[in-house]
Structure 1
Amino acid sequence: MNYQTLKIVFPYTLPVLMGYIFMGIAFGVLLSSKGYAFYWGTLMGILIYAGSMQFIAIGLLTTPLNLLGAAILTFTVNARHLFYGLSLLEKFKIFGFKKFYMIFSLTDETYSLLCTLKPPAKISPADFYFSIAFLNHFYWILGCTLGGILGSLITFNSQGIDFSMTALFIVIFVEQWEKTEQHIPALAGILITALSLIFFGTKSFIIISMLCLVLTLIFFRKKLESTSEVDHAE
């Protein structure tokens, strides 16, 4: 990877840049509002690099520590990456030791680009995909840092900023709904989450609904895949 490669890859990552900068700023501002210096946001962006989990981590840092609950919540929120990783096993073979960074840097947006983009003829696939992952990670770190600095310099009411993550997932949900013919997983997610909220309340429904959804998708995986293949064949 070199400057010329990054220059060619950069336009492909512009949509992610726009999203990550503003989402990272929102996270940095919220973290700063809890009394943390800006560099904590930078470190979390470098070492954790998980948008939704970083927002959740703000709440975990400001409430009594529950290691088991935090571990279960982290696993369930990021369980979708198990499926991402399985679908990229073959593609990641070309990266050598760099595959460890590719695994670490695999976010929803990066996964989408890795699956849909084809490298230009003048760039090797390994350099092309690695540059995408690297640039996306850099955008997130930059956003988290800017948000932390902004939050430490300017005092204002940050209430409502945390809804930005919810808004992002709504946009992703709508986009995926429009692009796919198979809506059963999405409908299952809505139904399971609603039932979990009704029966278990606001304090416990996230962990329970995520566990139930993961188990449901695993159990019905073959049936969903066969249904999807039939739809494409038609």
Structure 2
Amino acid sequence: MAHGVSTVDAVDSRENKGGGQELSQERLFWHGMRQMMPIAAAGILDGLVFGILARHAGLSMFETMLLTLLVNAGSSQFAAVGLISQGIVGWPLLVSTLLINARQLLYGLSLGPSFRNLPVWKLSIMAGQLNDETYALKSTYLAQGGKPSMTYFMGAGFGDYAIWHSCVFVGAIIGTAFTGTEQYGLDFAFIATFLGFLALNLTSSVYVKTAVVAAGAASLGYWMFGLTSSVVMGTVAAMLMGVFSRER
């Protein structure tokens, strides 16, 4: 999931630079949380939808919350639940979600040099809170001159974590109230959700080409080997397009 990035507040940014007044650790934490709120709030609907879809896919309340608490990666969570709902488990699910979330490696490589002096266990905690939204805020914060601060990053991550998981919890409760989803066409919700994600990201010719190639590969995989192969082939095709494309 990727939402808009709010601009880092100029006054607070100056305060956190070497030439100005240093923010206390407590203020840095709340500063990060406050700046994360507008971005995280944009994902409220996504969290509600995920909770509902996870319950309709057959996951229990415990399994739904465990999945979102441990994974904390919206797009791959949606993908996993969609595959589970179709009876696809095991290595195809792992490979597909791994490829979808491969961009996290680039996020870590981007932020890592600013925290090269931190021990591995602290970096692991920060990595657990890194996703599209928190990366967007944190990279903007550093680009505007903010000092690398684990406290600020933890505040931003905690704000995003709290909103997302609260909404998933509410969605999972709502999901238990609905039965006979096919009667209302809610079984199409998985497909509709991803079509919505796709439509929002078709902002350049390379994205359109990638969507067409991935759809073609998925269709070919389905025709040749069935549903499981179509998911893997479509995902791999999209990743290869991203790697080799020279367009922006």
Residue in 2 aligned with 1:142?
Answer: 166
Q: CA RMSD in A?
A: 3.3
Structure 1: gaps spanning 5 or more residues = 178-182, 229-234
TM-score by length of 2: 0.69
Per-residue CA deviation, residues 16-71 of structure 1 (Å, 9 max, x unaligned), is 32233221111111222344432322211111112122222224434545422122
Matches within 5 A, 1:207-226: 207-219=232-244, 224=246
Structure 2 unaligned segments of length 5 or more: list them: 1-23
Alignment of 1:1-234 (within 5 A): 4-64=27-87, 66-93=89-116, 95-96=118-119, 97-118=121-142, 125-152=149-176, 154-155=177-178, 157=181, 158-162=186-190, 163-171=192-200, 173=201, 177=203, 185-201=206-222, 203=227, 204-219=229-244, 224=246
Question: Equivalent residue of 2:116, what SS?
Answer: helix
Tell me the distance in 2 between the aligned counterparts of 1:119 and 1:87: 11
Q: CA deviation at 1:8?
A: 2.2
Secondary structure of 2:134's counterpart equals: helix
Which of the pair has the greater relative contact order for Cα pairs under 8 Å at 6+ separation? 1
Letter in 2 for 1:58: V
Q: Give the Cα separation in 1 of the matches to 2:178 and 2:89.
A: 31
- The Cα offsets for residues 70-110 of structure 1, whole Å up to 9 and x where unpaired, read as 22212222122222222222134254332102222221122
How many equivalent residue pairs? 214
Residues in 2 aligned to 1:23 and 1:135: alpha-carbon distance in whole angstroms: 16
Q: SS of the residue aligned with 1:86?
A: helix
The 2-side partners of 1:115 and 1:57 are apart by 28
Report if aligned partners of 2:29, 2:155 keep a CA contact under 8 Å in 1: yes
For the residue of structure 2 that corresponds to 1:155, the secondary structure is coil
Letter in 2 for 1:196: A
- Percent of aligned positions with the same letter in both sequences? 21
Q: Is the 8 A contact 2:29 2:153 kept in 1?
A: no
